[in-house]
Chains A and B, each alone.
Chain A
């Protein structure tokens, strides 16, 4: 295929990526603007970053968001990996169709519906809204993303390794931890990262399920954006983008290295 990368293909790729990246690049550039007006360039300055550092409410919101994201991503990774294992390994349990539906539906469910329905559940259960309700809500939708990521790795995993261990008397959970998990580890890590950023990003579901004292960073940003565009929001956005971009690129490099090593090991194992 590669010998036919026509000018048309190159132009569509370049234009496509320009469209995807230009707004973010402009946002980052204008976060270093000295002027209070976002769209008028008045020279380079880091004043808005310094101002962020003094905004206690914003820092509090960031801290809440990070705690929710760490906890919900970890729980979602456990539940999502279990769900993926159930989908790939067990074909004959009751309610499998319902289970499959519940794993895929949250991927496309409009956030307003998920948010509203979870809020009404918490109210019906008389659950105080705050840190924990946001965390539970984030676990619920992000575990499905983890399940899909892990599942796509599990279907290509050579099941006979696990079976061999079990035939030799290894209990299934031990076979999972000793054999399956080390192999599917990159997918599990990618799932965690995905769950973490989904939680970091979420505005709609958090707005419904949060309570006093648990304002997340996106909720804070949203309430400020409604008042108008300011370079300070550009600055906090730039920091968020930078953190995520560094994380994703680092994760991609690590995964790639592991993947290369795994392929080599598998080849050796098959050959030897």
Chain B
């Protein structure tokens, strides 16, 4: 994405010009306001409501109908759900454990993804588009299927254990399935392309003559890497970390299918609260707190995106 910035336009003077402008901005703006922003306010509202044996299963359901009712309904709102969340160690532990699992998995993804991206950026020029396509391809194939594929590999009688026992490395099968280790493997595997592509994009743009010049002047390769290559690839590294960490915190499919009953992740807790306990207010409160935890990284990511595409 070039850093070139198109000049700001003045509003078109003609009537059709104004209409065009209104439609181009208005349609997607309206859609996102209704289907992306407004739902968050509803989630917030319901997170302050109480669970009820009704359809929909929360009270007060429609507090904005008339003013007197509005005030009496307003009194029914409470922070009970949040107090409940704070009081039950399940939720706090889910949050902390989600952040921990996502952080460790992101770090491992970076360690695996960086050499891959670096190798791709150094590949012969004609080979690079094919390598990029090969990185993107798994991203297009179903996430669920890619996670599912690991079950057959990691199971106690799975392919990995069979292979290792055939090699004679181990005598009894390793227990990987239904542990946090399986969750780490799942996250690293599923999110690897998100880490590799931005790092590759920033490394590919880099002028490698800088490193050669440093070497000519007697700089050892490792030092040249940390002094030149890594700083130049930092925008890609930051984008990659955000693209992996933020969705990984709220991940549901991976901990549910690969993790065990003791694997606590907030996305899974929310899902269970909603689908098994049918407690909409508490799951809304969980969602609000998850959102709050992610606001800073999301804003940071948007800033970096806007800067990279020249729309700040």
Give me the interface of A with B, judged by CB distance under 8 Å: 1-2, 4-6, 8-13, 15-17, 19-21, 23-24, 26-27, 30, 38-39, 79-80, 82-83, 85-93, 95, 98-113, 116-118, 120-121, 123-124, 136-137, 139-140, 143, 147, 151-152, 155-156, 159, 166, 171-173, 176, 193-194, 197, 200-201, 203-204, 207-208, 218, 221-222, 225-226, 229, 233-234, 237, 240-241, 244-245, 248-249, 252, 256
With known contacts A12-B119, A23-B153, A27-B152, A85–B24 Cβ distance under 8 A: yes
Docked-complex contact A225 and B148, CB < 8 angstroms: yes
Docked-complex contact B189 and A19, CB < 8 angstroms: yes
Kindly identify which residue among B24, B33, B124, B136 contacts A82, using a CB–CB cutoff of 8 Å.
B24
Give the complex CA separation of A19 and B246 in angstroms.
23
- With a cutoff of 8 Å between Cβ atoms, the chain A residues found around residue B237 in the complex are none
Kindly identify which residue among A90, A240, A248, A252 contacts B9, using a CB–CB cutoff of 8 Å.
A90
- With a cutoff of 8 Å between Cβ atoms, the chain B residues found around residue A19 in the complex are 112, 189, 192
Kindly identify which residue among B16, B125, B137, B252 contacts A172, using a CB–CB cutoff of 8 Å.
B16
Query: Total A-B residue pairs with C-beta atoms closer than 8 Å?
Result: 296
Q: How near does chain A come to B188, taking the closest CB pair, in angstroms?
A: 9
- With a cutoff of 8 Å between Cβ atoms, the chain B residues found around residue A208 in the complex are 274
B202 close to A (CB within 8 Å): no
- With a cutoff of 8 Å between Cβ atoms, the chain B residues found around residue A237 in the complex are 142, 145, 148-149
Pick from B37-45, B72-80, B85-93, B164-172 the stretch touching chain A.
B37-45
Query: Can you name 20 A-B residue pairings with CB atoms under 8 Å?
Result: A5-B119, A39-B159, A82-B25, A89-B6, A92-B8, A92-B11, A102-B33, A108-B246, A112-B250, A117-B40, A140-B35, A147-B28, A172-B17, A173-B16, A225-B148, A226-B257, A237-B149, A240-B142, A244-B140, A249-B133
Give the complex CA separation of A244 and B40 in angstroms.
33
- With a cutoff of 8 Å between Cβ atoms, the chain A residues found around residue B246 in the complex are 108-110
Residue of B nearest to A154 (CB): B6
Residues 221 to 236 of chain B near chain A (Cβ within 8 Å): none
Q: How near does chain A come to B2, taking the closest CB pair, in angstroms?
A: 5
With known contacts A19-B189, A27-B145, A110-B267, A116–B112 Cβ distance under 8 A: no
Residue of A nearest to B288 (CB): A113
Give the complex CA separation of A79 and B35 in angstroms.
13
Residue of A nearest to B35 (CB): A140
Docked-complex contact A110 and B247, CB < 8 angstroms: yes
- With a cutoff of 8 Å between Cβ atoms, the chain B residues found around residue A155 in the complex are 1-2, 4, 6, 309-310
- With a cutoff of 8 Å between Cβ atoms, the chain B residues found around residue A30 in the complex are 152
Docked-complex contact B284 and A120, CB < 8 angstroms: yes
- With a cutoff of 8 Å between Cβ atoms, the chain B residues found around residue A147 in the complex are 28
Docked-complex contact A89 and B24, CB < 8 angstroms: yes
Kindly identify which residue among A23, A93, A103, A193 contacts B32, using a CB–CB cutoff of 8 Å.
A103
Docked-complex contact A156 and B142, CB < 8 angstroms: no
Docked-complex contact A143 and B123, CB < 8 angstroms: no
Interface residues on B, range: 35 or more
Docked-complex contact B252 and A111, CB < 8 angstroms: yes
Give the complex CA separation of A93 and B21 in angstroms.
10
- With a cutoff of 8 Å between Cβ atoms, the chain A residues found around residue B70 in the complex are none
Residue of A nearest to B209 (CB): A1
Q: How near does chain A come to B309, taking the closest CB pair, in angstroms?
A: 6
Residues 39 to 84 of chain B near chain A (Cβ within 8 Å): 39-40, 42-43, 46, 56, 62
Give the complex CA separation of A16 and B150 in angstroms.
16
Docked-complex contact A99 and B25, CB < 8 angstroms: yes
Residue of A nearest to B270 (CB): A112
Residue of A nearest to B203 (CB): A1
Give the complex CA separation of A104 and B297 in angstroms.
12
User: Given A2-B123, A200-B142, 9 more contacts at CB 8 Å?
Assistant: A1-B121, A5-B123, A92-B9, A105-B302, A113-B287, A113-B291, A116-B270, A152-B309, A244-B140
Q: How near does chain A come to B279, taking the closest CB pair, in angstroms?
A: 12
Docked-complex contact A104 and B35, CB < 8 angstroms: no
